[in-house]
Chain A
Amino acid sequence: VENVRLLDRLSSRRAVVGTLYLTATHVIFVENGSETRKETWVLHSQISSIEKQATTATGCPLLIRCKNFQVIQLVIPQERDCHDVYISLIRLARPVKYEELYCFSFNPKLDKEEREQGWKLVDLNEEYNRMGVPNNYWQISDVNRDYGVCDSYPTEVYVPKSATAHIIVGSSKFRSRRRFPALSYYCKGNNASICRSSQPLSGFSARCLEDEQMLQAIRKANPGSDFIYVVDTRPKLNAMANRAAGKGYENEDNYSNIKFQFIGIENIHVMRNSLQKMLEVCELKSPSMSDFLWGLENSGWLKHIKAIMDAGIFIAKAVAEEGVSVLVHCSDGWDRTAQVCSVASLLLDPYYRTMKGFMVLIEKDWVSFGHKFNHRYGNLDGDPKEISPVIDQFIECVWQLMEQFPCAFEFNERFLIHIQHHIYSCQFGNFLCNSQKERRELKIKERTYSLWAHLWKNRADYLNPLYRSDHSQSQGTLYPQIAPCNFLYKFWSGMYNRFEKGLHPRQSVTDYLMAVKEETQQLEEELEVLQERLANLQKSQSGINKVKSKQQDRSKQSGLYASNNSLANTPQEYSNDLKSFPSRSPSQGDEDSALILTQDNLKSSDPDLSANSDQESGVEDLSCRSPSGGGCLPSEDSGKDSDEAVFLAG
């Protein structure tokens, strides 16, 4: 469709005209006119809703909301075209078969071996070994070999050594969806562990001997402690209501040596509505500070994030400080339980704060234990009531921690944002389906590629420059504060307003430091080479010419150094009074638009997955994404050279 206008949400003045294309996998908008022909790519799987608004004189507006929080406003001149686009998108955005998803057609031109290697990057067996199991207390159990006991669990599960198959099967019958207690994290230092399960089918009075034995076995696996915590992550009221349905929670009288604890995290429906409300606040046009803060409070979003964090902190403290094992569950044990176990693991173990460790963590607590990615993130058309931003909340918890502990994480904010993007993109097979069983049936590993390998390949982009593996923050357990005035929970505009670049800091400290570090590395290399040359030169005067030419190469390389300094930007609409000002000359209007162009150029060099979800362009994207590429400006370089010249002359 031609002559479509793409509106800028912040300013109605900044609209661009271009052509809209629909392909099997993407919506593509290509700008007219400008030399760069900036492209906006949106994967169908990212589309969360499409809204056709009332036709106006200028055309028919179409509003596309994406799962990665991009909001695209298009105005299509012809009502008929708009309707066609609308109908097609509705169909395309809601695939019914897995085979329709992008990952089955996505081909990054890797050979079979490379693909297999990619899938091997994250190996959970290796991970459990790293934790220190199997050992005297824990062993791998094969009761779920053919998913015979629990179809949403992985085949290989770690359980206490004293838990026989009989106990496990018995316990599983007493738990929702037969999700029996299994090991999530084992703390080598003091034998304390985090186990996870679903709620017991206790109703008002039911008991299960095997289940009681199972919890006993978990306690015994930690000889240093004479009780375990059982943490129910639901609000007490919800848990009590479940009893009427024959479900519920552990009765302290029936289980010996447990301490039972509720931690009120709300259910998926509350969370879905909360996000919805917060996004409405994000979409407000020029809100006042009160509108915004009030809306943020009213959405309850940060309250929920804090609840998840508090639960994680509680468990981490129990394990690290008290040396007590914890069993965590919610209802089915695949949403809140996954959130809380992974937050606690992240606080406890610095390995999970590394890039590789974070991939392992998601693979362990989310993918392998049957978090229902397909239902929660609506990859296939399904029940909208199943959709909920469960893992988004976990990712935000990590970001909030990064803000408090800036040196503790090997990866940066971009890493989190890109993972969030790909949970919805269906470009890689990792997060397909609802369980390991379904993924095996679909032969995901043979038919699709792994996100982890893709991220690992580009890991230079995702590094936190402040991270050092020998830094105190990258050792041991993190103990965040609890009260909001000690631990400031912030609105994450980098995520929820990530496509409104105008709202973000115009200069990125992370990118700047990455560029400096890159240059430092080059300098180190050059220093070595120079020292060597010098030594050689002093030994013999031969080979001078070679040295010269190579030296020039080197100095060219070190000129790569770039900064983000020269970001031109345009003023926002600070006042409406100015618009009507009569003396505004047309030439100034031109200047404005010229500036917008430069800004857009800069935007396109930003790492922007939506613009480039395609692998080929993704590779091109890399070059501008790396800190030295995008911002490299001639003026900067010349400034640099003259500095050196001065130095040399002096």
Chain B
Amino acid sequence: MEFAELIKTPQADNVMLHRQFHLAVEGTLCLTGHHLIFSSRQQNNTEELWLLHSNIDSIERRFAGSSGIIVIKCKDLRIIQLDIPGMEESTNIANSIEVLSTLDSVTLMYPFFYRPMFEVLDDGWSLFLLEQEFELLSSVTNEWRLSYVNKEFSVCPSYPPVVIVPNSIDDDALRRVALFRQGGRFPVLSYYHKKNGMVMMRSSQPLTGTNGRRCKEDEKLVNATLCSGRRGFVIDTRSLAVAQQARAKGGGFEQEVHYPQWRRIHKYIERFNILQESFIKLVEACNDQANNMDRWLSKLEASNWLTHIKELLTTACLAAQCIDREGASVLVHGSEGTDSTLQVTSLAQIILDPRCRTIRGFEALIVREWLQAGHPFQLRCAQSAYSSSKPKWEAPVFLLFLECVWQIHRQFPCSFEFNEQFLIMLFEHAYASQFGTFLGNNENERAKLKLPEKTLSLWSWVNRPEELIRFQNPLYEANSLVIWPSVAPQSLQLWEGVFLRWNRPSRFLEEAEEERVNIIRYNKELQARVNVLRRHLAELEAEGVEQEEP
């Protein structure tokens, strides 16, 4: 298929662009296979706006006189309006945008066409290998091993080819456990807490069904992670009622009789369409320009978004507390183990592991706990909050996770190497990107699409020093401690950086950030200069002493 066939009117002049907090500008609109490009050339102010078609969540069109008005709502929550002269032109453009922003085939997506303007030094596709992670692990314990049982993706289609499992469990046993867990997602290691050797594992629900099926290998695998006499917690991200209902459909939960060393805690975390609805409601509230405080607060409350944030953070803190304070190991699962499970395991690591609060460590966490762990990005992020179609698999699971990280970041602003912009950037790229990183739903699909050969990795770009500098937190000082966030409602705030990003004048906040950067930079410069002088002085003094002494 040629994109040109879909673009009847590739260019329109005298188009007006309207955005919040910007004066309307006139310019030329161009459509290409992957971009909507608006460029204005005014006396001293040339401006170009490039919008990926895949970033467009929905468009609305209407006519005013002889010109068409197109309102474009993006997945990054921005809203722009284009006034295009000429009925035919505007209809053509709107049609093209509609088609181009909803292409079905993954291989037509921009990452397959994008050619970087920079040289790739550090290929992001091979930056985070589980083998490296395991090397670190094996330097402190030998209770774990790498298993390639899923090399062909035959045991668990949503798992990566290599996983970390207890040393004492062989691949045959793993195959049998996989049959006992939904989607084949047998328990694997998620995190090892060096301080006390406790671990966090994740899986999907066991398929106990109504008649209480058992699986000896599963019991053995789960227990293998506990030293004798130790106990563990199963954190089930469903309510007890939901877990019980799941039995009717063949699912279920670990019966304490069969897992006597384990205690089950049910902590309900909202999922799927309810999350998506909450997201839509919140964004709607944030776009409500009404000058009414009561309405704003009641809409914010009615969206329930912050409730989900609080519940998720609480569960993650609980998991971290079990490990660090109770000295117990933890197994986390919900039903499929691809959504709320990953939210909990990754957030708990942010709390526990200082490494995850560095840029590289956070990237590794995303790769390990989200991409390789098989969070279905493509399904979840197909549509954002403006989509008019009924959500099928869409849910802001990853965004919710990012916001929780932001909440912790806000409470510990000096403990993270990255800044808020880094989190916002990840949100954007999960929904629309020139990079292949978030394409596909799991490693299996990514391998089939040959993403590493055909597309560029987000990390190849982000980790270039030129880019990285935008994402560094100037206040960062490594903090080796566990950081316990407060989950009280008073401590949680709306993530303005995402939800009010296009709705608030950002200049003043950007200026503040600039000031912070400058204060720190000037300090470092001075430090360097003082050190040079000190050394210089010391050398001169030494010379002086030598001269005097003989």
Contacts and interface: CB of A to CB of B under 8 A. Distances in A.
B413 interface: yes
Contact of B490 (A503, A548, A571, A588): A503
A302 B267 CA distance: 33
Given A297-B298, A503-B488, A509-B475, A302 B293 contact: yes
A457 interface: no
A478 to B, nearest CB: 9
A537 B265 CA distance: 71
B545 A565 contact: no
A10 B488 CA distance: 10
Contact of B327 (A286, A571, A588): A588
A551 B536 CA distance: 13
Contacts of B2: none
A648 interface: yes
B493 interface: yes
B465 interface: no
Contacts of A564: 414
A538 B540 contact: yes
Contacts of A513: 475, 516, 519-520
Which of A286, A506, A569, A588 is packed against the most chain B CB atoms within 10 Å?
Answer: A506
Nearest to A547: B541
Nearest to A307: B293
Contacts of B515: 406-407, 465-466, 468, 471
A519 B301 contact: no
B65 interface: no
Contacts of A303: 293-294
Contact of B479 (A484, A519, A547, A566): A566
Nearest to B481: A568
Nearest to B499: A485
Contacts of B545: 544
State which size class the interface on A falls in. 35 or more
B317 interface: yes
A489 B504 CA distance: 12
Nearest to B308: A289
Contact of A523 (B410, B415, B512, B526): B526
Nearest to B414: A507
A490 to B, nearest CB: 7
A136 interface: no
B526 A485 contact: no
Given A485-B503, A569-B484, A527 B490 contact: no
B22 interface: no
Interface string B529-540: 111011111101
A296 B490 CA distance: 10
Interface in A279-293: 282, 286-293
Given A293-B300, A471-B511, A565 B414 contact: yes
Contact of B505 (A293, A468, A481, A503): A481
A516 interface: yes
A488 B492 contact: no
Interface string A563-600: 11111111110110110010110001000100000000
A483 B537 contact: no
Interface in B504-550: 504-505, 508-509, 511-512, 515-516, 519-520, 522-523, 526-527, 529-531, 533-538, 540-541, 544-545, 547-548
Contacts of A584: 326
B534 A523 contact: no
A534 B536 contact: yes
Given A468-B515, A503-B488, A512-B414, A527 B533 contact: yes
A264 B530 CA distance: 59
Interface string A530-569: 1101100110010010011001000100100001111111
16 contacts: A287-B489, A310-B291, A404-B508, A406-B509, A407-B515, A484-B296, A486-B503, A507-B412, A512-B413, A513-B520, A544-B548, A564-B414, A571-B320, A572-B317, A572-B486, A648-B538
Closest 10 CB pairs of A and B: A292-B489, A406-B512, A484-B296, A297-B297, A293-B301, A303-B293, A523-B526, A289-B307, A530-B533, A574-B318
Given A465-B519, A537-B544, A648-B538, 15 more contacts: A306-B293, A406-B515, A481-B505, A482-B291, A486-B505, A493-B491, A500-B490, A504-B491, A507-B414, A527-B529, A534-B537, A544-B544, A566-B481, A574-B487, A583-B326
Interface of A: 10, 282, 286-294, 296-297, 300, 302-303, 306, 310, 404-408, 465-466, 468, 471-473, 481-491, 493, 497, 500, 502-507, 509, 512-513, 516-517, 519-520, 523-524, 526-527, 530-531, 533-534, 537-538, 541, 544, 547-548, 551, 555, 558, 563-572, 574-575, 577-578, 581, 583-584, 588, 592, 644, 647-648
